[in-house]
């Protein structure tokens, strides 16, 4: 099975979206599971719509997702001579022919078929003619005229179509450029592709491509056609349902591991496992358990997975360092942080508080918003307290200044003891203290915040609010 070769072959005519990313992921996992190769090809036969910007977007976001490929990227347009040579081989073998129909004739052919209630297909009028006039022509494949075209799809099972339902597809256009159908088959053959996993919107292409493999005497790769991703209302996924590009999910603060996990569960399963990291996926993804039913996209599930992986990163030093980097630099739509918020002192505080903040966060953007107040020694706008709360904190400041060690356990133990001595509930002390330290009424553990800020910053924030508040 180490001889397995899969590929991802997007057209650089737009951004990398969820469906394409899932196709890439499944092919990548299948190759990595069996120790094979995962190849990348840019299918730019549509030169009018293809762009370098789209190509760069696709490559950048594949790298971000961690879907590395083997060898160089194959650029389909650079192989045009090879495609033309194969078309000429087919002509020489009598398995293809020149068609001289004009655009007007093709339109009339279509209108006539529709008028008779028939499917509009080319009527093969040039298939057996040898009187080749001067003028432009296309090259068409001589497809079988009868019988069935069939193959075993690893997801759909045995699939077949009547030969008469497939026309003689064009291989070369009148300007000599290859069509998508010819280029795909030639490139897959030359790249040694053994397995193809793609959306079931390509199923009809599979039959047409099989005709071309048979005409050339080549072995066709194994094919798996997976249902497209649908929205939660059962409709085909669109921008209205959240089918934005991978780059936008990245800008919205998603982690690549969350996107990959979410995509993995859209059409594949491993028992009841929901949270599956990339190493587990490579170990388990053997090409089975692909669903024949359309998967339904749920953005809330992606957010939940994102929160899970945010927390996972805080469990190791390397993961925490990676999370810190992404919080500071990754959300592409967020404004850059000022240098003073990234000083050595600010970074130490930020990294210390990050695990506590990650407990509730579901995106890097949310985590970054929560983090910013901790990246300065004091709050820009110290909260104004009631007179009683101001007096209480004023009394507490000098006592806390003498507290040692400055640890979560000692701080909590002392605050609870002091609350009891003052006949106050712990909440009555913790609520204003949390507000002056964070500017918020809801936050992670109060003592974790105080330890992360450090004694001096904590006392400075308390004093600033006391100074800004009326006295009882």
Q: Per residue in 387-441, pLDDT tens?
A: 889 999 999 999 999 999 999 999 999 999 999 999 999 999 999 999 999 998 8
Indicate whether 290 belongs to any domain: no
* Range from 138-142, 267-271, 442-446 that averages highest in pLDDT: 138-142
pLDDT at 332: 63
Return the CATH number at 211: 3.40.50.620
Q: Among residues 226, 246, 269, which one ends one of the domains?
A: 226
pLDDT at 440: 87
Q: Among residues 179, 211, 226, which one ends one of the domains?
A: 226
pLDDT exceeds 80 at position 471: no
User: Phi and psi for 71 in degrees, rounded to 5?
Assistant: 75, -170
Mean pLDDT of 448-464: 94
Same domain, 455 and 358: no
Same domain, 198 and 249: no
Q: Residue 411 has what DSSP assignment?
A: H
Q: Is 403 exposed, middle or buried (0-12, 13-18, 19+ CB in 10 A)?
A: middle
Confidence of residue 179 (pLDDT cuts 50, 70, 90): very high
Threshold 0.75, pTM exceeds: yes
pLDDT digits (tens, 9 = 90+) for 209-247: 999 999 999 999 999 999 999 987 777 776 555 557 999
Catalytic residue among 63, 160, 236, 239: 239
Query: Residue 214's domain spans which residues?
Result: 78-226
Same domain, 92 and 191: yes
Indicate whether 308 belongs to any domain: no
pLDDT exceeds 60 at position 472: no
More confident residue, 65 or 378: 65
| Distance of alpha carbon 434 from alpha carbon 421, whole angstroms | 20
Same domain, 91 and 219: yes
Same domain, 368 and 460: no
pLDDT at 282: 97
Same domain, 391 and 350: no
Residue matched to tokens 């070369």: 172
* Pairing mode of beta strands 195-199, 170-172: unpaired
Confidence of residue 249 (pLDDT cuts 50, 70, 90): very high
Same domain, 88 and 158: yes
Q: Among residues 239, 267, 284, which one ends one of the domains?
A: 284
Indicate whether 24 belongs to any domain: yes
Would you tell me how many other CB atoms lie within 10 Å of the CB of residue 427?
A: 9
Same domain, 215 and 100: yes
More confident residue, 459 or 386: 459
Indicate whether 304 belongs to any domain: no
Same domain, 87 and 206: yes
Indicate whether 41 belongs to any domain: yes
Confidence of residue 56 (pLDDT cuts 50, 70, 90): very high
Length of the chain: 472
Mean pLDDT of 71-82: 97
User: Whole-number mean pLDDT of the chain?
Assistant: 93
Indicate whether 295 belongs to any domain: no
Same domain, 118 and 51: no
Residue matched to tokens 């490139």: 187
pLDDT exceeds 70 at position 260: yes
Indicate whether 309 belongs to any domain: no
pLDDT digits (tens, 9 = 90+) for 117-155: 888 889 999 999 989 999 999 999 999 999 999 999 999
**Minimum mean pLDDT among 110-124, 235-249, 324-338: which range?**
235-249
Q: Is 455 a catalytic residue?
A: no
pLDDT exceeds 90 at position 46: no
pLDDT at 444: 85
Q: Residue 5 has what DSSP assignment?
A: E
Same domain, 395 and 459: yes
Indicate whether 382 belongs to any domain: no
pLDDT at 213: 98
pLDDT at 241: 54
| Distance of alpha carbon 360 from alpha carbon 316, whole angstroms | 18
Same domain, 98 and 216: yes
Buried b (16+ CB within 10 A) or exposed e, 92-113: eeebbbbbbbeeeeeeebbeee
Number of domains in the chain: 4
Q: What share of the chain is helix, strand, coil (3-state, %, to 5)?
A: 50, 10, 40
CB 168 within 8 A of CB 128: no
């Amino acid at each position: 099975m180490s001889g397995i070769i899969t590929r991802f072959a997007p057209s650089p005519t737009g951004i990398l979206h969820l469906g394409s990313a899932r196709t890439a992921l499944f092919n990548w996992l299948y190759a990595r599971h069996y120790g094979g190769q995962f190849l990348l090809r840019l299918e730019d036969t549509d030169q009018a719509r293809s762009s370098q910007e789209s190509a760069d977007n696709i490559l950048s976001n594949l790298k971000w997702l961690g879907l590395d490929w083997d060898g160089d990227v194959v650029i389909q347009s650079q192989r045009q001579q090879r495609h033309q040579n194969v078309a000429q081989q087919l002509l020489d073998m009598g398995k293809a022919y020149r068609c001289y129909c004009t655009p007007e004739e093709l339109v009339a052919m279509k209108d006539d078929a529709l008028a008779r209630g028939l499917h509009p297909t080319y009527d093969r009028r040039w298939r057996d003619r040898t009187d080749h006039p001067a003028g432009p022509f296309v090259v068409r494949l001589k497809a079988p005229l009868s019988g069935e075209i069939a193959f075993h799809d690893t997801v759909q099972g045995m699939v077949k179509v009547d030969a008469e339902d497939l026309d003689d597809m064009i291989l070369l256009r009148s300007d000599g450029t290859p069509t998508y159908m010819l280029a795909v088959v030639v490139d897959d053959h030359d790249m040694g592709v053994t397995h193809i996993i793609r959306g079931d919107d390509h199923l009809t292409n599979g039959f047409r491509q099989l005709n071309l493999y048979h005409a050339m005497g080549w072995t066709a790769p194994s094919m798996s056609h997976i249902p497209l991703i649908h929205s939660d209302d059962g409709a085909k996924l669109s921008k209205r349902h959240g089918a934005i590009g991978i780059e936008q999910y990245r800008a919205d603060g998603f982690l690549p591991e969350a996107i990959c996990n979410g995509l993995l569960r859209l059409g594949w399963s491993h028992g009841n496992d929901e949270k599956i990291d990339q190493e587990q996926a490579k170990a388990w993804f053997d090409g089975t358990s692909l669903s024949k039913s359309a998967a339904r996209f749920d953005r809330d599930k992606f957010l939940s997975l994102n929160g899970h992986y945010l927390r996972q990163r805080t469990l190791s030093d390397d993961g925490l360092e990676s999370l810190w980097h992404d919080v500071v630099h990754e959300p592409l739509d967020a404004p850059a942080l000022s240098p003073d918020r990234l000083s050595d002192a600010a970074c130490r505080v930020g990294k210390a508080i990050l695990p506590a903040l990650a407990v509730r966060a579901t995106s890097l953007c949310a985590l970054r918003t929560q983090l910013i107040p901790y990246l300065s020694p004091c709050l820009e706008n110290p909260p104004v307290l009631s007179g009683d709360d101001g007096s209480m904190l004023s009394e507490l400041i000098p006592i806390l200044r003498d507290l040692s060690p400055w640890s979560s356990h000692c701080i909590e133990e002392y605050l609870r003891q002091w609350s009891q001595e003052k006949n106050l509930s712990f909440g009555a002390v913790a609520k204003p203290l949390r507000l002056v330290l964070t500017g918020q009424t809801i936050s992670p553990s109060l003592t974790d915040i105080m330890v992360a800020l450090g004694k001096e910053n904590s006392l400075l924030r308390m004093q600033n609010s006391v100074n800004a508040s009326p006295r009882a």
